[in-house]
Structure 1
Amino acid sequence: MKKYIGLILAMGLIAVMVAGCSNEGQVTDKEAAKENNVIKVASHMPPMTDVVEIAAEVIKDEGYEIELVQVNDNIQYNELLNNKEVDANFAQHEPFMEKFNSEKEANLVMIQKIYNAKVGFYSKEYTAIDQIPNGAKVALPSDVSNEGRALAILADQGLIKLKEGVGFDGTIKDIVENSKNLEWLSVDLLNLAEAYNEKDVALVYNYPTYIAKVGLTPKDALFLEKTIDDRFAISLVAREDNQDSDKIKALKKAMTSEKVREFLVNDHSDTLLPAF
């Protein structure tokens, strides 16, 4: 009889253990399913982060959830994406991405252009181009992709002349005429706004997002970019290995939704232009 009772207790214990394992497996499956519906997107600052958050509302209808991973510099969002810690990022233009790919042997891919920022040059002291004196200091972004864009704008205004054919890819070495003997200061993009308040700096290149730190908008620029090159549109970026995934397709759809367009047009028409 004791053996019989012992056998029953043992069988019951095994059943409980099996049930526990089964329930544990079910929890894991649910967690995995939830994880599969989460899209992690790294971004930097407004209005980029705002666009991601609006897309997060839109994408709920598709059964997905966007998790915004906010960073505080222009390095982390690409590192996170390249290391597969996020699914996508939204903080850069294509030339900047290509520079990262080249330097890091990465495989990031531009998925969708979202908006073109109104970039240009600002001056605290001068209100007209002809007021800029000989030997004036000009603050340019230190990264190659943005430096080329800045120089192209200066060339378009007749302040310098670049080697024929370099377009937006020029560097200081490609300047063939500098009639005002402008002096070049290479400054990290995140620090260019601070250069605006420097006494000996006549011109500062900048984006609306960064120049807002000193209370300025593109309306305050001495001059803005005349010819827009869509390669510089702030874009949704993923990797070669996930660019065709359902997650990225759904993310692209949400970020090009009418709600995102309305936000860009209604709230930020002074600083940018939609690119989709």
Structure 2
Amino acid sequence: MRALIKYITFLLLPAIVLLGCQKSEEPVKTIRFGTSFGHFSDMVRESIIPQLEEKGYEVTLKEFTDGIQLNNALNEGSIDVNIFQHVPYLEGYRAQTQQALKEAFQVPNAPFAIYAGKRKSLEAIEAGDVVIVPNDPSSYGRALVILDSLGWIKLREGIDPLKVSKQDILENVHQIEIKELQSDLLPRALKDAAFGAINGGAALNSGLKIADALSLEPNDLYINWGVVREKDLNEAWLGDVIEVFNSEQFKQYAQDKFPDYQFPTAW
């Protein structure tokens, strides 16, 4: 009987070894991030990737210069997560393309703010002063909300802050000149204006410091999100990504490196 058992074990041994090899050779999930250049790619590269690799994932990062390309890449499946946009921007993309992309988790981001040009304090505002603002509709509306919060203009009562436009200005209290420019030109144009309303990315890329801003955006409606395809919302890997972005390790990293940022409301 012992001889028979040994013989059967000998026959089964190759199959057992093969099963073991197959299990060990199961493909490792690769998570592919896409971000804009700058602080978002730094966050992923310096803190998120190491934590996900500890969980057994392979992680790649590709940087893009254009938001439309980032959303198209996600929709087409060449990346799994993109990080660069707020919900109003994403809603605009969805409305135009009918693509099923969904916000999944918030990320720290540089706030929209008022910076000093020729005038060095908000109280120094005078009639006729030039205030430069971004010329794209979403950022322009954000600038108007800030100017309204400062009392420099008066917006229509009850207007949705995500849909503010030039037509919603009821009164120009200080008779300021609101001049529109391309976002990346705003920091350089500060020397010729009294103040500038500048988004966080453009400010940081130019060397401006958020700590030097005179006034920050008065709400968190435009906080940035990690975005995925709708079909991936319940995937286990996404749960791990969300966990890492809300980990104490990442919170400490973000608060140390980006102390003046807007942080996720869940923190």
- 1:181 and 2:175 are equivalent in the alignment: yes
- 1:104 and 2:97 are equivalent in the alignment: yes
- 1:49 and 2:41 are equivalent in the alignment: yes
- 1:127 and 2:128 are equivalent in the alignment: no
Query: For residue 263 of structure 2, what is the aligned residue in structure 1?
Result: 273
- After TM superposition, the structure 1 = structure 2 runs for residues 109-120 of structure 1, keeping only pairs within 5 Å, are 109-120=102-113
Alpha-carbon separation, structure 2, partners of 1:267 and 1:274: 15
Please give the secondary structure, in 1, of the residue aligned with 2:108.
strand
Tell me by how many angstroms 1:202 deviates. 2.4
1:139–1:262: structure 2 CA closer, same or farther, 3 Å change rule?
same
- % identical equivalent positions: 27
Query: For residue 254 of structure 2, what is the aligned residue in structure 1?
Result: 264
Query: For residue 222 of structure 2, what is the aligned residue in structure 1?
Result: 232
Tell me by how many angstroms 1:274 deviates. 4.2
Tell me by how many angstroms 1:59 deviates. 1.0
Calculate the TM-score normalised by the size of structure 1: 0.79
- 1:67 and 2:63 are equivalent in the alignment: no
1:268–1:43: structure 2 CA closer, same or farther, 3 Å change rule?
same
Where in structure 1 are there 5+ consecutive unaligned residues? Answer: 1-25
Tell me by how many angstroms 1:188 deviates. 3.4
Q: Is the 1:123–1:196 Cα contact (8 Å) retained in structure 2?
A: yes
- After TM superposition, the structure 1 = structure 2 runs for residues 206-217 of structure 1, keeping only pairs within 5 Å, are 206-217=198-209
RMSD (CA atoms):
2.4
Alpha-carbon separation, structure 1, partners of 2:40 and 2:197: 20
Cα deviations across residues 108-138 of structure 1 (Å, max 9, x unaligned)?
A: 1110112253321112210123433323332
Q: Is the 1:116–1:232 Cα contact (8 Å) retained in structure 2?
A: no
Query: For residue 141 of structure 1, what is the aligned residue in structure 2?
Result: 134
1:108–1:191: structure 2 CA closer, same or farther, 3 Å change rule?
farther
Alpha-carbon separation, structure 2, partners of 1:204 and 1:75: 26
Please give the secondary structure, in 2, of the residue aligned with 1:117.
coil
